[in-house]
Amino acid sequence: MTLVFHYVSGSPFAWKVWLALEHKQIPYDLRVLSADAGDLKKPGFLAISPRGKVPAIIDGGFTLYESSAIVEYLEDAYRDCGGPLWPRDAQARAVARRIAAEADAYIYPHVRKLVVELVMRREGEPDATAVAQARAALTQEFALMARSLQGPFATGPEPSAADFALYPMTAALARISARRPDHALDAVVPESVNRWKRQIETLPYFDKTMPPHWRNS
């Protein structure tokens, strides 16, 4: 039975899983949900993902939510499929896991703050203090991340789940930056990180995983 992948366009955590599925060449049935339409709070979806969040998968009778757990599951359950999600070397593997954890824990919250203030806000002015704090925090985080990225991919010659975790956050920041040039957010990301980002965009499956709603706007 084909693995079912529940996805919302633009979710960085769901994008991480999509890149992982493609990298491992695992066949999947993509179910695109809409948060705006209330799909994430419907009983059928809550039975799969009780927090009402994407990503979530169903593999046979097995359901799983939380992107990092899903990535680990894909690696373990589909060991012989496609490319590995983590480097073989123990130290490189540990560093890749650390980068993926840092992307989720230290980069995402600030990117999310910028999305809320600069993209999603429908009324009033953005909270300038919150924007400045997020910008300053991301400047520090990306400077730290730049020291970790080996090149051409996060931990060396092959892409890993570290790349798949970090890329969507960086892409989201680039998108906000393009939409709100007045905030000079492109200055937050060092050139070495941009070089790494362009490398991810050369992956043969990358285009397929672009958030569908980004294609038109």
Give the N- to C-terminal CA distance of the chain in Å, as an integer. 35
Nearer Cβ to ligand GSH (92/172): 172
CA nearest 173: which of 83, 107, 120? 107
Compare residues 16 and 24 and give the one whose CB is closer to ligand GSH. Answer: 16
Burial 170-200 (b: 16+ CB within 10 A, else e): bbbbbbbbeebeebebeebbbeebeebbebb
Number of other residues whose CB lies within 10 A of the CB of residue 50? 11
Nearest one of 192, 202, 118 to 159, comparing CA atoms:
202
Nearest-approach distance from CB 164 to ligand GSH, in angstroms? 12
Give the binding site for ligand GSH (CB under 6 A). Answer: 8, 11-13, 35, 40, 52-55, 66-68
CB of 3 vs ligand GSH, minimal distance in Å: 16
Considering only CA atoms, which of 210, 143, 116, 215 is closest in space to residue 171? 210
User: Are 31 and 4 spatial neighbours (Cβ–Cβ below 8 Å)?
Assistant: yes
Give least dist CB 66 to ligand GSH, A.
5
- Using the minimum distance from each CB to ligand GSH, give the nearer residue, 36 or 123: 36
Question: Least distance in Å: CB of 52 to ligand GSH?
Answer: 5
Shortest Cβ 68–ligand GSH spacing (Å)? 6
**Which of residues 142 and 164 has its CB atom nearest to ligand GSH in the complex?**
164
Nearer to ligand GSH, 11 or 155 (CB): 11
